[in-house]
Structure 1
Amino acid sequence: MKLVSAAASPFVRKVHVVLHETGQTGDVEIVPVKTSPLSTSAEVRAANPIGKIPALIRSDGPALYDSRVICQYLNERADAHLYPDSRKWEVMTLEATADGIMDAAVLISYENRLRPSDLIFKDWTDAQWAKVTSAVSAVNDRWMSHLNGPLDIGQIAMGCALGYLDFRHDARGWRKGNDALDDWFAAFSRRDSMIATAPSD
Protein backbone atom coordinates (compact mmCIF):
# COMPACT_ATOMS: atom_id res chain seq x y z
CA MET A 1 0.00 0.00 0.00
CA LYS A 2 1.00 3.61 -0.53
CA LEU A 3 -0.07 6.61 1.54
CA VAL A 4 -0.20 9.90 -0.32
CA SER A 5 0.63 12.40 2.36
CA ALA A 6 2.16 15.67 3.52
CA ALA A 7 3.98 15.96 6.82
CA ALA A 8 2.18 19.16 7.89
CA SER A 9 -1.36 17.78 7.59
CA PRO A 10 -3.09 16.80 10.85
CA PHE A 11 -5.35 14.43 8.91
CA VAL A 12 -2.32 12.66 7.49
CA ARG A 13 -0.76 12.56 10.93
CA LYS A 14 -3.84 10.81 12.30
CA VAL A 15 -3.34 8.01 9.77
CA HIS A 16 0.38 7.82 10.57
CA VAL A 17 -0.35 7.50 14.29
CA VAL A 18 -2.82 4.69 13.58
CA LEU A 19 -0.17 2.93 11.50
CA HIS A 20 2.29 3.17 14.39
CA GLU A 21 -0.19 2.16 17.07
CA THR A 22 -1.41 -0.87 15.08
CA GLY A 23 2.00 -2.09 13.92
CA GLN A 24 1.42 -1.47 10.21
CA THR A 25 4.12 1.06 9.35
CA GLY A 26 6.08 -1.59 7.44
CA ASP A 27 3.08 -2.33 5.22
CA VAL A 28 2.73 1.18 3.80
CA GLU A 29 5.05 3.19 1.56
CA ILE A 30 4.84 6.92 2.27
CA VAL A 31 4.44 9.07 -0.85
CA PRO A 32 5.20 12.67 0.17
CA VAL A 33 3.59 15.41 -1.93
CA LYS A 34 3.46 19.19 -2.09
CA THR A 35 -0.16 20.14 -2.57
CA SER A 36 -2.67 22.85 -1.75
CA PRO A 37 -6.21 23.85 -2.75
CA LEU A 38 -4.67 26.23 -5.30
CA SER A 39 -2.15 23.75 -6.69
CA THR A 40 -3.22 20.13 -6.32
CA SER A 41 -0.48 17.64 -7.09
CA ALA A 42 -0.99 15.03 -9.79
CA GLU A 43 -0.42 12.21 -7.29
CA VAL A 44 -3.21 13.49 -5.08
CA ARG A 45 -5.63 14.03 -7.94
CA ALA A 46 -4.99 10.54 -9.27
CA ALA A 47 -5.77 8.97 -5.89
CA ASN A 48 -8.62 11.25 -4.84
CA PRO A 49 -10.77 13.14 -7.37
CA ILE A 50 -11.56 15.71 -4.65
CA GLY A 51 -7.85 16.50 -4.48
CA LYS A 52 -7.36 16.11 -0.73
CA ILE A 53 -4.94 14.14 1.41
CA PRO A 54 -4.50 11.59 2.83
CA ALA A 55 -5.22 8.90 0.26
CA LEU A 56 -4.37 5.22 0.63
CA ILE A 57 -3.53 3.42 -2.61
CA ARG A 58 -4.20 -0.32 -2.44
CA SER A 59 -3.20 -3.08 -4.83
CA ASP A 60 -6.40 -5.06 -4.21
CA GLY A 61 -9.00 -2.32 -4.57
CA PRO A 62 -9.63 1.34 -5.31
CA ALA A 63 -7.80 4.03 -3.38
CA LEU A 64 -9.34 5.06 -0.08
CA TYR A 65 -9.54 8.69 0.97
CA ASP A 66 -10.72 10.75 3.93
CA SER A 67 -8.80 10.08 7.12
CA ARG A 68 -11.83 8.58 8.86
CA VAL A 69 -12.30 6.02 6.08
CA ILE A 70 -8.60 5.15 6.02
CA CYS A 71 -8.37 4.84 9.80
CA GLN A 72 -11.36 2.52 9.97
CA TYR A 73 -9.87 0.40 7.20
CA LEU A 74 -6.51 0.15 8.97
CA ASN A 75 -8.22 -0.60 12.26
CA GLU A 76 -10.14 -3.50 10.77
CA ARG A 77 -7.09 -4.73 8.89
CA ALA A 78 -5.15 -4.99 12.16
CA ASP A 79 -8.13 -5.96 14.35
CA ALA A 80 -6.99 -3.13 16.58
CA HIS A 81 -10.22 -2.20 18.43
CA LEU A 82 -9.79 1.55 18.02
CA TYR A 83 -13.57 1.74 17.45
CA PRO A 84 -14.80 -0.45 20.34
CA ASP A 85 -18.44 -1.53 20.04
CA SER A 86 -19.19 -0.65 23.66
CA ARG A 87 -18.45 3.05 23.07
CA LYS A 88 -18.44 3.32 19.29
CA TRP A 89 -20.72 6.34 19.02
CA GLU A 90 -18.88 8.29 21.68
CA VAL A 91 -15.54 7.45 20.07
CA MET A 92 -16.74 8.51 16.63
CA THR A 93 -18.25 11.72 18.00
CA LEU A 94 -14.97 12.63 19.66
CA GLU A 95 -13.14 11.86 16.42
CA ALA A 96 -15.58 14.10 14.53
CA THR A 97 -15.01 16.88 17.07
CA ALA A 98 -11.24 16.60 16.60
CA ASP A 99 -11.64 16.57 12.83
CA GLY A 100 -13.78 19.71 13.09
CA ILE A 101 -10.98 21.41 15.01
CA MET A 102 -8.55 20.35 12.29
CA ASP A 103 -10.87 21.60 9.53
CA ALA A 104 -11.23 25.04 11.07
CA ALA A 105 -7.54 25.35 11.92
CA VAL A 106 -6.43 24.28 8.43
CA LEU A 107 -8.81 26.82 6.86
CA ILE A 108 -7.20 29.56 8.95
CA SER A 109 -3.79 28.41 7.77
CA TYR A 110 -4.87 28.48 4.14
CA GLU A 111 -6.42 31.93 4.52
CA ASN A 112 -3.20 33.33 5.95
CA ARG A 113 -0.81 31.51 3.63
CA LEU A 114 -2.59 31.45 0.28
CA ARG A 115 -4.65 34.61 0.13
CA PRO A 116 -2.95 37.93 -0.69
CA SER A 117 -2.31 39.80 2.57
CA ASP A 118 -4.56 42.72 1.64
CA LEU A 119 -7.47 40.33 1.03
CA ILE A 120 -7.28 38.23 4.22
CA PHE A 121 -10.74 38.14 5.81
CA LYS A 122 -10.02 38.54 9.52
CA ASP A 123 -13.65 38.20 10.60
CA TRP A 124 -13.79 34.87 8.80
CA THR A 125 -10.59 33.55 10.40
CA ASP A 126 -11.83 34.73 13.80
CA ALA A 127 -15.06 32.82 13.21
CA GLN A 128 -13.07 29.69 12.39
CA TRP A 129 -11.03 30.12 15.55
CA ALA A 130 -14.26 30.47 17.54
CA LYS A 131 -15.18 26.97 16.35
CA VAL A 132 -11.83 25.72 17.61
CA THR A 133 -12.15 27.33 21.03
CA SER A 134 -15.74 26.14 21.46
CA ALA A 135 -14.78 22.56 20.63
CA VAL A 136 -11.65 22.58 22.79
CA SER A 137 -13.62 23.94 25.74
CA ALA A 138 -16.31 21.29 25.30
CA VAL A 139 -13.72 18.52 25.26
CA ASN A 140 -12.04 19.93 28.36
CA ASP A 141 -15.39 20.14 30.19
CA ARG A 142 -17.11 16.95 29.05
CA TRP A 143 -14.68 14.42 27.58
CA MET A 144 -11.77 14.05 29.98
CA SER A 145 -12.96 10.74 31.45
CA HIS A 146 -13.06 9.33 27.93
CA LEU A 147 -9.67 10.74 26.98
CA ASN A 148 -8.18 9.16 30.08
CA GLY A 149 -9.54 5.72 29.17
CA PRO A 150 -8.19 2.99 26.86
CA LEU A 151 -6.66 4.13 23.57
CA ASP A 152 -9.11 4.69 20.73
CA ILE A 153 -9.41 6.74 17.54
CA GLY A 154 -11.01 9.64 19.41
CA GLN A 155 -7.88 10.11 21.49
CA ILE A 156 -5.62 9.79 18.45
CA ALA A 157 -7.64 12.34 16.50
CA MET A 158 -7.72 14.78 19.41
CA GLY A 159 -3.98 14.44 19.94
CA CYS A 160 -3.36 15.24 16.28
CA ALA A 161 -5.79 18.18 16.34
CA LEU A 162 -4.12 19.76 19.37
CA GLY A 163 -0.70 19.08 17.88
CA TYR A 164 -1.72 21.01 14.78
CA LEU A 165 -2.91 23.94 16.90
CA ASP A 166 0.54 24.06 18.48
CA PHE A 167 2.23 23.70 15.09
CA ARG A 168 0.35 26.41 13.21
CA HIS A 169 -1.54 28.51 15.77
CA ASP A 170 0.40 28.38 19.00
CA ALA A 171 0.17 32.15 19.50
CA ARG A 172 -3.63 31.95 19.71
CA GLY A 173 -3.32 30.02 22.98
CA TRP A 174 -5.81 27.16 22.95
CA ARG A 175 -4.68 26.08 26.44
CA LYS A 176 -6.14 29.09 28.28
CA GLY A 177 -8.91 27.83 30.57
CA ASN A 178 -8.40 24.23 29.43
CA ASP A 179 -6.00 22.93 32.05
CA ALA A 180 -7.28 19.34 32.10
CA LEU A 181 -6.96 18.98 28.35
CA ASP A 182 -3.54 20.62 28.43
CA ASP A 183 -2.34 18.08 30.99
CA TRP A 184 -3.78 15.19 28.99
CA PHE A 185 -2.14 16.39 25.78
CA ALA A 186 1.23 16.80 27.47
CA ALA A 187 1.13 13.14 28.47
CA PHE A 188 -0.34 11.89 25.18
CA SER A 189 2.31 13.74 23.20
CA ARG A 190 4.96 11.55 24.80
CA ARG A 191 3.64 8.40 23.11
CA ASP A 192 6.14 6.95 20.65
CA SER A 193 3.58 7.25 17.84
CA MET A 194 3.14 10.98 18.46
CA ILE A 195 6.87 11.66 18.71
CA ALA A 196 7.50 9.75 15.47
CA THR A 197 4.82 11.69 13.56
CA ALA A 198 5.49 15.27 14.67
CA PRO A 199 4.43 17.68 11.89
CA SER A 200 6.91 19.55 9.72
CA ASP A 201 6.83 21.81 6.67
Structure 2
Amino acid sequence: MQLFDNPASPFCRKVKVLLHETGQIDDVEILFAVGHPTAQAEMPTAHNPLGKIPSLLRDDGPAIYDSRVICRFLNDRVEANLYPEARIWETLTLEATADGIMEAALLMIYEARCRPEDMRSAEWVDAQWDKVERALAAIETRWMSHLSGPLDMGQIAVGCALGYLDFRHSARNWATTFPALAEWYTTFAQRPSMQSTVPTG
Protein backbone atom coordinates (compact mmCIF):
# COMPACT_ATOMS: atom_id res chain seq x y z
CA MET A 1 0.00 0.00 0.00
CA GLN A 2 0.99 3.61 -0.54
CA LEU A 3 -0.07 6.62 1.53
CA PHE A 4 0.00 10.16 0.15
CA ASP A 5 1.17 12.17 3.13
CA ASN A 6 2.52 15.48 4.31
CA PRO A 7 4.29 15.61 7.70
CA ALA A 8 2.55 18.89 8.57
CA SER A 9 -0.97 17.51 8.09
CA PRO A 10 -2.86 16.51 11.25
CA PHE A 11 -5.17 14.31 9.18
CA CYS A 12 -2.19 12.40 7.78
CA ARG A 13 -0.73 12.18 11.27
CA LYS A 14 -3.89 10.42 12.48
CA VAL A 15 -3.34 7.69 9.91
CA LYS A 16 0.35 7.32 10.72
CA VAL A 17 -0.30 7.13 14.47
CA LEU A 18 -2.79 4.34 13.80
CA LEU A 19 -0.24 2.57 11.60
CA HIS A 20 2.32 2.70 14.41
CA GLU A 21 -0.15 1.66 17.11
CA THR A 22 -1.35 -1.34 15.10
CA GLY A 23 2.02 -2.52 13.78
CA GLN A 24 1.24 -1.72 10.14
CA ILE A 25 3.71 1.09 9.50
CA ASP A 26 6.04 -1.18 7.51
CA ASP A 27 3.16 -2.25 5.26
CA VAL A 28 2.79 1.24 3.79
CA GLU A 29 5.07 3.27 1.54
CA ILE A 30 4.84 6.96 2.41
CA LEU A 31 4.60 9.27 -0.62
CA PHE A 32 5.18 12.98 -0.09
CA ALA A 33 2.49 15.37 -1.33
CA VAL A 34 2.29 19.12 -0.96
CA GLY A 35 -0.33 21.68 -1.87
CA HIS A 36 -3.45 23.52 -0.80
CA PRO A 37 -6.84 24.33 -2.34
CA THR A 38 -5.38 26.81 -4.83
CA ALA A 39 -2.17 24.87 -5.57
CA GLN A 40 -2.95 21.22 -6.24
CA ALA A 41 -0.35 20.33 -8.86
CA GLU A 42 1.45 17.93 -6.53
CA MET A 43 -1.65 16.54 -4.82
CA PRO A 44 -2.97 13.04 -5.71
CA THR A 45 -5.80 14.22 -7.95
CA ALA A 46 -5.48 11.14 -10.15
CA HIS A 47 -6.46 8.98 -7.18
CA ASN A 48 -8.59 11.41 -5.16
CA PRO A 49 -10.70 13.79 -7.24
CA LEU A 50 -10.90 16.15 -4.26
CA GLY A 51 -7.13 16.57 -4.36
CA LYS A 52 -6.76 16.00 -0.62
CA ILE A 53 -4.48 14.03 1.64
CA PRO A 54 -4.28 11.53 3.15
CA SER A 55 -5.15 9.21 0.30
CA LEU A 56 -4.38 5.49 0.49
CA LEU A 57 -3.60 3.35 -2.54
CA ARG A 58 -4.59 -0.21 -1.75
CA ASP A 59 -3.09 -3.34 -3.27
CA ASP A 60 -6.48 -4.89 -4.00
CA GLY A 61 -8.85 -2.06 -4.78
CA PRO A 62 -9.24 1.61 -5.72
CA ALA A 63 -7.76 4.39 -3.64
CA ILE A 64 -9.65 5.42 -0.53
CA TYR A 65 -9.55 8.85 1.05
CA ASP A 66 -10.65 10.95 4.00
CA SER A 67 -8.73 10.15 7.15
CA ARG A 68 -11.77 8.61 8.88
CA VAL A 69 -12.35 6.21 5.99
CA ILE A 70 -8.67 5.25 5.86
CA CYS A 71 -8.49 4.74 9.61
CA ARG A 72 -11.56 2.50 9.62
CA PHE A 73 -10.09 0.45 6.77
CA LEU A 74 -6.70 0.03 8.45
CA ASN A 75 -8.31 -0.75 11.80
CA ASP A 76 -10.48 -3.48 10.25
CA ARG A 77 -7.53 -4.83 8.25
CA VAL A 78 -5.90 -6.10 11.44
CA GLU A 79 -8.95 -6.15 13.75
CA ALA A 80 -7.29 -3.57 15.98
CA ASN A 81 -10.42 -2.58 17.97
CA LEU A 82 -9.72 1.13 17.80
CA TYR A 83 -13.42 1.50 16.96
CA PRO A 84 -14.85 -0.65 19.78
CA GLU A 85 -18.49 -1.62 19.31
CA ALA A 86 -19.23 -1.09 23.01
CA ARG A 87 -18.66 2.64 22.62
CA ILE A 88 -18.68 3.10 18.86
CA TRP A 89 -20.87 6.22 18.73
CA GLU A 90 -18.85 7.95 21.43
CA THR A 91 -15.61 7.10 19.65
CA LEU A 92 -16.90 8.31 16.28
CA THR A 93 -18.29 11.52 17.76
CA LEU A 94 -15.05 12.29 19.55
CA GLU A 95 -13.10 11.62 16.36
CA ALA A 96 -15.45 13.91 14.43
CA THR A 97 -15.01 16.63 17.06
CA ALA A 98 -11.23 16.37 16.81
CA ASP A 99 -11.40 16.41 13.02
CA GLY A 100 -13.47 19.59 13.24
CA ILE A 101 -10.75 21.19 15.34
CA MET A 102 -8.16 20.22 12.74
CA GLU A 103 -10.27 21.54 9.89
CA ALA A 104 -10.92 24.91 11.56
CA ALA A 105 -7.25 25.29 12.50
CA LEU A 106 -6.18 24.41 8.96
CA LEU A 107 -8.63 26.90 7.44
CA MET A 108 -7.04 29.60 9.56
CA ILE A 109 -3.70 28.78 7.93
CA TYR A 110 -5.24 28.73 4.45
CA GLU A 111 -6.73 32.18 5.00
CA ALA A 112 -3.22 33.57 5.36
CA ARG A 113 -1.56 31.44 2.69
CA CYS A 114 -4.18 31.26 -0.05
CA ARG A 115 -5.90 34.65 -0.03
CA PRO A 116 -4.41 37.95 -1.14
CA GLU A 117 -3.72 40.14 1.87
CA ASP A 118 -6.44 42.65 1.01
CA MET A 119 -9.06 39.88 0.93
CA ARG A 120 -8.25 38.26 4.28
CA SER A 121 -10.84 38.39 7.03
CA ALA A 122 -9.78 38.59 10.66
CA GLU A 123 -13.40 38.03 11.67
CA TRP A 124 -13.52 34.81 9.67
CA VAL A 125 -10.27 33.61 11.28
CA ASP A 126 -11.62 34.42 14.74
CA ALA A 127 -14.81 32.51 13.91
CA GLN A 128 -12.72 29.44 13.11
CA TRP A 129 -10.92 29.78 16.44
CA ASP A 130 -14.28 30.06 18.17
CA LYS A 131 -15.10 26.61 16.75
CA VAL A 132 -11.84 25.28 18.13
CA GLU A 133 -12.48 26.69 21.60
CA ARG A 134 -16.06 25.39 21.71
CA ALA A 135 -14.83 21.95 20.73
CA LEU A 136 -12.04 21.99 23.32
CA ALA A 137 -14.53 23.06 25.97
CA ALA A 138 -16.85 20.22 25.01
CA ILE A 139 -14.03 17.69 25.21
CA GLU A 140 -12.83 18.93 28.59
CA THR A 141 -16.40 19.01 29.94
CA ARG A 142 -17.79 15.77 28.50
CA TRP A 143 -15.02 13.50 27.30
CA MET A 144 -12.21 13.33 29.85
CA SER A 145 -13.33 9.96 31.17
CA HIS A 146 -13.34 8.60 27.63
CA LEU A 147 -9.86 9.99 26.99
CA SER A 148 -8.67 8.20 30.11
CA GLY A 149 -10.05 4.84 28.96
CA PRO A 150 -8.61 2.20 26.61
CA LEU A 151 -6.96 3.57 23.47
CA ASP A 152 -9.30 4.22 20.58
CA MET A 153 -9.48 6.40 17.48
CA GLY A 154 -11.18 9.21 19.37
CA GLN A 155 -8.13 9.58 21.59
CA ILE A 156 -5.73 9.42 18.64
CA ALA A 157 -7.68 12.09 16.78
CA VAL A 158 -7.77 14.41 19.79
CA GLY A 159 -4.05 13.94 20.34
CA CYS A 160 -3.32 14.85 16.72
CA ALA A 161 -5.65 17.85 16.86
CA LEU A 162 -3.97 19.23 19.95
CA GLY A 163 -0.57 18.61 18.45
CA TYR A 164 -1.58 20.64 15.41
CA LEU A 165 -2.75 23.53 17.59
CA ASP A 166 0.67 23.56 19.25
CA PHE A 167 2.37 23.33 15.86
CA ARG A 168 0.51 26.08 14.00
CA HIS A 169 -1.31 28.15 16.64
CA SER A 170 0.91 28.06 19.73
CA ALA A 171 0.49 31.81 20.26
CA ARG A 172 -3.18 31.25 21.14
CA ASN A 173 -2.06 29.08 24.08
CA TRP A 174 -5.08 26.76 24.26
CA ALA A 175 -3.52 24.78 27.14
CA THR A 176 -3.88 27.65 29.60
CA THR A 177 -7.65 27.74 29.07
CA PHE A 178 -8.09 23.95 29.19
CA PRO A 179 -5.71 22.64 31.86
CA ALA A 180 -7.27 19.18 32.28
CA LEU A 181 -7.08 18.52 28.56
CA ALA A 182 -3.54 19.89 28.48
CA GLU A 183 -2.50 17.52 31.26
CA TRP A 184 -3.96 14.56 29.38
CA TYR A 185 -2.20 15.63 26.19
CA THR A 186 1.17 15.98 27.91
CA THR A 187 1.02 12.29 28.77
CA PHE A 188 -0.54 11.14 25.50
CA ALA A 189 2.05 12.99 23.43
CA GLN A 190 4.78 10.77 24.94
CA ARG A 191 3.44 7.65 23.23
CA PRO A 192 6.02 6.32 20.74
CA SER A 193 3.47 6.63 17.93
CA MET A 194 3.08 10.34 18.67
CA GLN A 195 6.80 10.92 19.08
CA SER A 196 7.41 9.25 15.70
CA THR A 197 4.94 11.53 13.92
CA VAL A 198 5.67 14.99 15.32
CA PRO A 199 4.62 17.48 12.60
CA THR A 200 7.25 19.32 10.57
CA GLY A 201 7.22 21.72 7.68
- TM tier relative to shorter chain: over 0.9
Mean CA deviation greater in 42-51 or 15-24? 42-51
User: Is the contact between residue 43 and residue 51 of structure 2 (CA under 8 Å) also seen in structure 1?
Assistant: no
> What CA deviation, in whole Å up to 9, does each residue of 1:28-83 have, x standing for no partner?
00000111111113551012001110000012100010000000000000110000
Deviation for aligned residue 1:118: 2.5
Q: Normalization by structure 1: what TM-score?
A: 0.98
Residue 111 of structure 1 is matched in structure 2 by 111
Residue 143 of structure 1 is matched in structure 2 by 143
Structure 2 gap ranges (5+): none
User: Is the contact between residue 21 and residue 193 of structure 2 (CA under 8 Å) also seen in structure 1?
Assistant: yes
Residue 130 of structure 2 is matched in structure 1 by 130
Following superposition, which runs of at least 4 residues in structure 1 exceed 4 angstroms of deviation? none
For 1:30, what is the secondary structure of its paired residue?
A: strand
The share of aligned pairs that are identical, in percent, is 58
1:38 aligns with 2:67: no
State how far apart, in whole Å, the 2-side matches of 1:41 and 1:198 are: 25
User: Is the contact between residue 43 and residue 52 of structure 2 (CA under 8 Å) also seen in structure 1?
Assistant: no
Q: Normalization by structure 2: what TM-score?
A: 0.98
1:26 aligns with 2:29: no
State how far apart, in whole Å, the 1-side matches of 2:77 and 2:36 are: 30
Deviation for aligned residue 1:141: 1.1
For 1:44, what is the secondary structure of its paired residue?
A: coil
1:181 aligns with 2:181: yes
State how far apart, in whole Å, the 2-side matches of 1:7 and 1:44 are: 15
Residue 59 of structure 2 is matched in structure 1 by 59
State how far apart, in whole Å, the 1-side matches of 2:179 and 2:121 are: 31
The root-mean-square deviation of aligned C-alpha atoms, in Å, is 0.9
Residue 47 of structure 1 is matched in structure 2 by 47
> What CA deviation, in whole Å up to 9, does each residue of 1:116-171 have, x standing for no partner?
22321100000000000000011011110000000000000000000000000010
Structure 1 gap ranges (5+): none
State how far apart, in whole Å, the 1-side matches of 2:86 and 2:34 are: 40
